[in-house]
Amino acid sequence: MQKALEFITASDDGQPLMMFGTHLDISERKKIEKEKEYQMALLKALFEESTVGIALIDMETGAFLDANGKMLEPTGYTKEEFLALTYWDLTPKEYLTLEQNALAEMKEKGFYSSWEKECIRKDGSRYPIRLNGVVVDGLNGKKCIWSIVEDITEFRIAEETLVKAKEQAIAGSKAKSEFLANMSHEIRTPLNGVIGFNELLKTTSLTAEQQQYVDSANVSAHALLSIISDILDFSKIEAGMLHLELLKTDIISVIEESIDMVKFQAAKKNLELLLDIDATLPRFAVTDPIRLKQVLTNLLSNAVKFTEKGEVALQVIYESLDPNKGKISFFVRDTGIGITDEQMEKLFKAFSQADSSTTRKFGGTGLGLIISDLIVKKFGGKIELHSHWGEGTTFHFTIITDAEEQKCSRSLQFDRIKHCLIIDDNDNSCQILQAILTHHGITSEVCHDGLSALKLLETAQPFDIIFCDYQMPNFSGSETIRMMRNEMKLSAETQPVILLHSLVEDASLHEMCNQLDVRYRLTKPIKQNDILTTLQQMNSVVCTAVESTPSGHHKTSVLSEKNIKILIAEDIRTNMLLLKLLIEKMHTSAQVIEAKNGHETVRLAREISPDLIFMDVQMPDMDGLVATQMIRSMNNGANVPIIALTAGAFKEDMQKCLAAGMNEFLTKPIEKDKIQSVLLKYLPLKDEI
């Protein structure tokens, strides 16, 4: 700054006098003041035009010192009215504790962020807000709260809309599940009659033409049942209702039962069905046997469906991870049409097939693979596949599970069986059989046709046993055995033969075995237990395996001839008649009593004290669940076996039945074998030697 002195003089007569003053350059200060004015104007504009509410509040009194338009807008107050209020005037009483805690935290930390409350409007209504507060210095050294206030009404509306949408979705899913359960009941109930009476009709005297019609109707009914089951399973998975029930399971039995499910279809197409189970696979593992069997059956059925010639194989490999845990890998291989890369992309999508044109040729819903894949994912695995068009397909998945090593007192002893001959045109079948024999200390040689085997027998000593396939090209098994017996004079005692054949048996097979003195037969695919049992019989050595039955002592159980009373509760006449006929055929001395509803069932259970009750779950007036609970409360009803009969196929249906006090759960359509199993399990037995 430059300063200048100015002198002015004056006389006594009023003339100018000398004055002293300073001159100061304030241009820099003016510049700063303008900048401050600009900043204040900018802040004021931001304050007024902000998209969120802003208020300045006296920290001690809670009085509003200032507020912008966005703050005033939802309250209904003018600015003059608003500034005459305090923060507490707009706060509902139920939020006072929250506010006091927030105020204490702001005094301690100097800020408070993101708490939600409601604010009172001028008309007394409320609206939701979210606040952020920071402590600042106000005029005269007062502490103030600079509060950012966001009206979250639209957010809450959107949130409520989402909640309602979620509730509607849950309700919709529940409604769909209830609809599916009802649909299952409505469809399975008439199917129960169709399949059941077809089974009964097959046991009567029929002409060849009539038998063909009945068989066709039976196949169609089971196909329809399979489609229904697929749709219900997919719907359960989609609704998140599928849960695994992990149990200690005879894993080998599950595998063998799975391949048995497709034996008939494979035999009709003259396919070689192979089963190759790792000899080290433990007998027991922790898994869901029903769902595992479902996956294996689906994969095997698909393999048979899409294979016109050749073979379908199920291979199981075991890898021990520790003494109580292992990895089980399943491979389903076929020599069918194969799958292209483009088709693979559609393979695991719902309601689709690899090629839509296959629907007409092969049929099916396209759900089998996606259901299987979802189940395997529940197991913690994933279905993988390897395929080339025209070269067959292999599906593969692995599960890790607790496993229990086989406990056997010692290995099976075959002192009279040391060397065998295998005659089979299928190389894989020969390898599987050789591996089983080798594992038990038996050596073997292989011939892939009957002529080669006969040439070998001309120069070699008789083998301890010959395994001979029944169906071989050019020179069949029957022709080979006939040459051995008639031309080479090898009797059954000199040269024992085990005939290997498919599921399809006819009169000619039995006649051939009688003529050629073939005393042992095994059905393909060959199972290790069946082979070992047959070898034990032929070896004439008492079995040393755990829990075996002594040779020559065959024990079975049949129903006692005591006067058995069986009560059937069923409101649909056809179902009642079917079940009654099935029971009477299995147990001719049983007295079957009928009840049409729950009330009648409870009354009869009190009066006659039945030995067994078949209880339909869905009946008018009083359903089977309530009827069961009432019977259980009676003195003579506490221990009577009660078997649920229901078209409900969900796990939740079974849980409700068991919780009500029922002993078993049978899903309609009722199968003859299941009824027989129940009768044998719960009714008095006698031993037959």
pLDDT tier at 552, thresholds 50, 70, 90: very low
Whether the pLDDT of residue 541 is over 50: the answer is no
Structure tokens given for 335: 């020599």
Q: Select the more confidently predicted residue: 356 or 416.
A: 416
pLDDT of residue 40: 65
Name the pairing type of β-strands 393-404 and 325-334: antiparallel
Q: Give the C-alpha separation, 152 to 689, whole Å.
A: 83
| C-alpha to C-alpha distances, 165 to 168, 174, 176, 238, nearest whole angstrom | 5, 14, 16, 18
User: Helices 427-439 and 528-539, interaxial angle, to 10°?
Assistant: 60
| C-alpha to C-alpha distances, 455 to 253, 265, 470, nearest whole angstrom | 39, 35, 18
Q: Select the more confidently predicted residue: 368 or 5.
A: 368
Of 84-88, 412-416, 644-648, which gets the smallest average pLDDT?
Answer: 412-416
CATH code at 558-688:
3.40.50.2300
Of 426-435, 491-500, 569-578, 646-655, which gets the smallest average pLDDT?
Answer: 646-655
Torsion, CA 291, CA 677, CA 261, CA 435, rounded to 10: 90
Q: Give the C-alpha separation, 437 to 463, whole Å.
A: 14
pLDDT tier at 106, thresholds 50, 70, 90: confident
Whether the pLDDT of residue 51 is over 60: the answer is yes
- Percent of the chain beyond pLDDT 90? 24
Strand partners, 151: 129
Contacts of 406 (CB under 8 A, 6+ apart): 282, 283
pLDDT of residue 505: 52
The CATH fold of domain 51-151: Beta-Lactamase (3.30.450)
Contacts of 54 (CB under 8 A, 6+ apart): 47, 67, 68, 70, 71, 146, 147, 148, 149
DSSP string computed for 11-28: -TTS------------HH
pLDDT digits (tens, 9 = 90+) for 70-82: 889 889 999 899 9
pLDDT digits (tens, 9 = 90+) for 249-259: 889 988 988 88
Contacts of 622 (CB under 8 A, 6+ apart): 597, 598, 599, 601, 602
pLDDT digits (tens, 9 = 90+) for 325-357: 999 999 999 998 888 777 777 676 654 444 444
Which of 260-274, 335-349, 359-373 is modeled with the greatest confidence? 260-274
Q: Give the C-alpha separation, 166 to 236, whole Å.
A: 19
Whether the pLDDT of residue 523 is over 50: the answer is yes
- Computed on alpha carbons and rounded to an integer, the radius of gyration of the chain in Å comes to 43
Structure tokens given for 651: 């796990």
pLDDT tier at 230, thresholds 50, 70, 90: low
Contacts of 241 (CB under 8 A, 6+ apart): 177, 650, 651, 652
CATH code at 247-404:
3.30.565.10
Of 48-52, 229-233, 420-424, 482-486, which gets the smallest average pLDDT?
Answer: 229-233
Angle made by CA atoms 482, 484, 487, in degrees to the nearest 5: 85
pLDDT of residue 537: 80
Strand partners, 613: 567, 642
pLDDT digits (tens, 9 = 90+) for 441-479: 899 999 999 999 999 998 888 899 999 999 888 888 999
pLDDT tier at 682, thresholds 50, 70, 90: confident
| C-alpha to C-alpha distances, 497 to 224, 466, 467, 534, 541, nearest whole angstrom | 42, 5, 6, 11, 18
pLDDT of residue 451: 92
Which of 184-188, 499-503, 585-589 is modeled with the greatest confidence? 499-503
Of 7-11, 318-322, 425-429, 547-551, which gets the smallest average pLDDT?
Answer: 547-551
Q: In terms of CATH architecture, what is 419-545?
A: 3-Layer(aba) Sandwich (3.40)
> SS3 for 566?
strand
